[in-house]
Homo-oligomer: A and B are copies of this chain.
Amino acid sequence: MSGLTYRHQRVQRLRRLLGRRSARREEGRFVIEGLNLLEEAVSSGAGVEAVYVDADWATGAPARAVGGEEDAPWGLAPGEDGPQRQQRLAALLARCYDMGTRVFELERGVLARVAGTVSPQPVMAVVEVPACSVADVGTGRPSLVVVCVDVRDPGNAGTVVRSAWAAGADAVLCADGTVDVWNPKAVRASAGAVLHVPVVAGGPAPELLAMVARWGMRRLGAVSTGGRDYATVDLVPPCAFVLGNEASGLPLAEVGDQLDELVTVPMPGGAESLNVGMAAAVLCFEAARQRRLGR
């Protein structure tokens, strides 16, 4: 491994995949950042194409804090020191070599500049976007899915995927207008859940919802006020939670005909709305609760 500089074409590609949806779509690849996500990708059998490591870190230099005061240096886990992390990295890189994955060492600081985040990670990897279509999801006879309509914030989209996975949803379907979940912020917010639950771009929202109905699922549109109390709805039969834009909600003029019911999470505290990630968590775990314990 020799240090690759900021202008090297491999680094440029990394930047493109991080920054451009079009590049991700064209190549069918996305970027994961950090040791935890890389470990998750390797153990979940995701197609890890190439790994990039900061030279500083790869060669055993002490971990350096890059972010603000509260950021753990290099994202160390609590109780973990630099050398321990380095052992984890070394073990992981060994596995990558075994699998035939290429590993590139980047000059000190290059990854940090490429990442453009406050707390850059010392390792990144280019990973294949898992191949899954809307039809594949339907074939699997799903009993719980989340449909995103115009979810714009990548952090929210990532949290939706994380909630959906944790609560046992079968898939997350993203209608046109929703942010790319392979965006680095979304991948980060998903904490790797994008590697586990199928996430599928599904075309225009009305067509997507019509298809979900043909799968025999009840389509429940989440609205911040005026819908039925979500906890009074029978969520045991197959159902799809349909989540809208964080600021303007669901575009009911466009998708209202394709919803079977509107549901609302009552908020006794007086907040105006939950973010869509939290709404997804509350709704999906209520479905999981009803299915586990009955209504």
Contact = CB atoms under 8 A, between A and B. Distances in A.
Interface in A215-252: 229, 231-232, 245, 247-248
A290 B267 CA distance: 13
Given A162-B271, A248-B78, A266 B292 contact: yes
Nearest to A80: B247
Nearest to A155: B155
A168 B21 contact: no
Given A70-B179, A70-B183, A275 B152 contact: no
A142 B283 CA distance: 26
Interface string A1-37: 0000000000000000001110000000000000000
A68 B184 CA distance: 10
Contacts of A274: 162-163, 166, 281
A159 B280 CA distance: 14
Interface string A257-287: 0000000011111110011011001100110
A96 interface: no
A265 B289 CA distance: 9
Q: Which 6 A-B pairs give the minimum distances between C-beta atoms?
A: A168-B268, A166-B271, A168-B269, A278-B281, A165-B269, A231-B289
28 contacts: A20-B69, A70-B152, A70-B179, A70-B183, A70-B185, A72-B152, A78-B247, A78-B248, A117-B118, A162-B271, A162-B278, A163-B274, A163-B278, A165-B269, A165-B270, A165-B271, A166-B267, A166-B271, A167-B267, A167-B269, A191-B275, A193-B271, A196-B271, A265-B285, A266-B292, A277-B278, A281-B282, A285-B286
Contacts of A268: 167-168, 288, 292
Contact size range, A: 35 or more
Interface of A: 19-21, 68-70, 72, 77-79, 116-118, 150, 152, 154, 159, 162-169, 179-180, 183, 185, 191, 193, 196-197, 229, 231-232, 245, 247-248, 265-271, 274-275, 277-278, 281-282, 285-286, 288-289, 292-293
Given A70-B183, A165-B269, 18 more contacts: A21-B69, A68-B183, A70-B179, A70-B180, A116-B118, A159-B278, A165-B270, A166-B278, A168-B267, A168-B268, A168-B269, A169-B269, A191-B275, A193-B271, A196-B270, A232-B293, A274-B281, A281-B281
